[in-house]
Structure 1
Amino acid sequence: MLMREVTSRLTQSELAHLGAGEVGYIRKMRSDEVSRCFPEAPDVNPNLDLWALFAADGTPILLTDNRSSTFYKAAEDELKTVSLH
């Protein structure tokens, strides 16, 4: 209930910038999603497990086949990380 009360007071712009520069999220990606989020990426083997780091607003930061690399990059950028499933 508290979250609903807080978000109802935020403007759409404020919500979009929530966590900007402070929070990043990590999620596993399928190869068919890569070109949508990382258009400059080369074709990727569909059997490859990929991990991506995104800024809180969804801006892509890093694409890798090594999950640990996403945490290292987040730490380098001083971002607190959350995982999405």
Structure 2
Amino acid sequence: MDNQSTIYQVTQETRKTGIASIKATLEFAGITSRTTLIAWERTGTFPKRVKLSGQRVGYRWSDLYKWADSLQVVEGEEAA
């Protein structure tokens, strides 16, 4: 399958709505460290968390998709 087909399939997927759990957010971002999420958030390169209750937080799916859509592949670097 060529790149055009792959790009088409990715952009045609159904997007989730609501709030993503920390686990789902880590999977979506392709990382395993909560510390990295918090560091990215503090530097402004990742969406802010949403407080759900006393100690529970999550991320809006809409913010995660907006973040992912804004990422750019740097020429000469391999995509994750």
User: TM-score interval w.r.t. the shorter chain?
Assistant: under 0.3
TM-score, normalised on structure 2? 0.26
More strand by share: 1
More helix by share: 2
TM-score, normalised on structure 1? 0.25
